[in-house]
Copies of this chain bind each other. A is one copy, B any other.
Amino acid sequence: MIDHPLLFAADALATLVFATTGALVASRKELDVFGFMWFAAITGVGGGTLRDLLLDVPVFWIENPFPLALCLGIAVVLHFTAHLVQSRMVLILWLDCFGLGFAAIAGTLKALDQGVAGLVAVIMGVFSGTVGGILRDTLGQEPSIILRREIYVTAAALGASATVLIAAAGESRLAAAATGFALVFALRGAALLRNLTLPGFRSRKGRDYP
């Protein structure tokens, strides 16, 4: 799927960013270098792994372990330099915003290539972009991104939906992907800049039916 050098670089960057957010959890728990590798790997490749298992295609890092090697490599580097990175959380958040968009749209396209229904392709996009982070938070016993009302899953879902709709309308893959990516990036970026959230469910008393 990824044969253009620019796409290859973007894919590697998205993996590195996710792996970095995983390694930073390991740094907060003050783990050893193998703990850094563990968290970097599950965060970096976890979402795509679930997508491939569900689609019943070969798991991407088993076919070609390069993304896995990237995760392990950045984990070793960060074991010695995490304190430098921690002081740059704003940069990390913006890189993660890029990673979310790239992973979600790439996952959507991979699912469409398998001929699944549009709704399923959207779900695969959402999983590709968010499951790594959810595994990271669950295994790291930190508050999960899925339990915050930030626009995160939302951005992935809307961007993936745009990609599916535009592709279904007969536009080129490139147009569909670019629009979807731009939408994820814009929504998540707006949330970062302005602290935007969707309205949450507000607990109310039920009406007193008898």
Q: What residues make up the interface of A, taking CB atoms closer than 8 Å to B? A: 26-38, 41, 49, 53-56, 58-59, 61-62, 65, 68-69, 72, 79, 82-88, 116-117, 119-120, 123, 134, 138-141, 144, 146-147, 149, 153-154, 157, 197-209
Contact = CB atoms under 8 A, between A and B. Distances in A.
A37 to B, nearest CB: 8
19 contacts: A30-B202, A31-B200, A32-B198, A32-B199, A35-B146, A35-B147, A38-B146, A41-B123, A54-B62, A61-B120, A65-B117, A65-B120, A79-B201, A83-B206, A84-B206, A84-B207, A87-B206, A139-B144, A140-B147
Q: Report copies per complex.
A: 3
Contacts of A38: 146, 153
Nearest to A29: B147
A79 B5 CA distance: 44
Contacts of A153: 34-35, 38
B68 A123 contact: yes
A30 B201 contact: yes
Contacts of A116: 62
